[in-house]
């Protein structure tokens, strides 16, 4: 059964949502029969990568907040992340456009490594302060997953997978996705936001039961 997740690398609640969904999946008896597909979404497509700007400055600018309020909000989100075992070092986060990171995710999907790629991207951005729009960073992340460095370099130096990213974004618009993370279970049940594991488990159970029922009818 398919679970599609629209997400953005720079979205703090997307990483939290990923972890909470995984907690639910661990409790789900049919977890080995779930196919997870990550879909691209950009919270700010027009963002310019700026390694000299920290995330507090960026948030203050786009929200019209003071630096103090921006830091307060980032500290709050870091506290939520900590509750699910994630360490956010947002003072180190580099403001980076996520389009190339999404292309990298699609390359990893080609190799059956997309879920691992999303984890490494989140970790690089939120914990290790790496520039996820930088070719060398993406090559380093990809080779750590076992993807050939030359293939990653060729992908990044071309427009490969750009159409796939745009297709995901268009699809999100068509089904009314306004924010991420957004989870779609078996093309039927949708959950928006980093909900609690119990909510995800309930959606997994309901959608699986209907998936099985449909398959049993189809086999008759």
Q: Which range of residues forms the domain containing residue 17?
A: 10-219
Residue 70 has what pLDDT? 96
**Parallel/antiparallel/unpaired status of strands 182-185 and 94-95:** unpaired
Whether 95 is covered by a domain: the verdict is yes
Residue 214 has what pLDDT? 78
The two structure tokens encoding residue 126: 């939120």
Whether 4 is covered by a domain: the verdict is no
Number of domains in the chain: 1
Residue 215 has what pLDDT? 75
Whether 118 is covered by a domain: the verdict is yes
Total residues belonging to the chain: 220
Whether 83 is covered by a domain: the verdict is yes
Residue 220 has what pLDDT? 46
Nearest to 124 by CA among 150, 104, 106, 109: 104
Before 140, cis peptide (omega within 30)?
no
**Parallel/antiparallel/unpaired status of strands 94-95 and 2-7:** unpaired
Whether 5 is covered by a domain: the verdict is no
Q: Which residues contact 45 (CB under 8 A, 6 or more apart)?
A: 97, 99
Residue 213 has what pLDDT? 87
Residue 106 has what pLDDT? 98
Mean pLDDT by 10 residues, the chain (220 residues): 97 98 98 98 95 91 95 97 97 96 98 98 97 98 98 98 98 96 96 98 97 72
Which of helix, strand or coil describes residue 42? coil
- 132 sits in which H/E element: none
Q: Where are the alpha helices (DSSP H) in the chain?
A: 12-26, 55-63, 67-83, 99-110, 114-122, 135-145, 149-156, 162-174, 197-219
Whether 2 is covered by a domain: the verdict is no
Q: How much is the pTM?
A: 0.95
Whether 156 is covered by a domain: the verdict is yes
CATH number, domain containing residue 135: 3.40.30.10
Residue 218 has what pLDDT? 56
Whether 111 is covered by a domain: the verdict is yes
């Amino acid at each position: 059964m398919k679970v599609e997740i629209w997400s953005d690398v720079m979205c703090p609640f997307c990483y939290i949502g990923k972890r909470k969904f995984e907690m639910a999946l661990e409790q789900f008896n049919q977890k080995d029969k779930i196919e997870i597909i990550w879909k691209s979404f950009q919270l700010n497509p027009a963002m310019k990568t700026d390694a000299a700007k920290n995330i507090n400055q960026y948030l203050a600018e786009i929200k019209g907040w003071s630096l103090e309020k921006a830091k307060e909000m980032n500290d709050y989100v870091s506290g939520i992340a900590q509750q699910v075992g994630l360490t956010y070092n947002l003072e180190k986060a580099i403001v980076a456009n996520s389009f190339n990171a999404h292309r990298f995710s699609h390359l990893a999907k080609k190799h059956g490594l997309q879920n691992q790629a999303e984890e490494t991207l989140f970790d690089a951005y939120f914990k290790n302060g790496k520039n996820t729009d930088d070719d060398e960073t993406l090559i380093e992340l990809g080779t750590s997953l076992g993807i050939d460095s030359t293939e990653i370099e060729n992908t990044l130096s071309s427009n490969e997978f750009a159409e796939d990213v745009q297709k995901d974004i268009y699809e999100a618009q068509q089904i009314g996705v306004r924010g991420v993370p957004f989870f779609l279970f078996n093309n039927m049940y949708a959950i928006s936001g980093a909900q609690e594991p119990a909510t995800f488990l309930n959606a997994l159970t309901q959608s699986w039961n209907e998936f099985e029922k449909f398959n049993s009818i189809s086999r008759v």
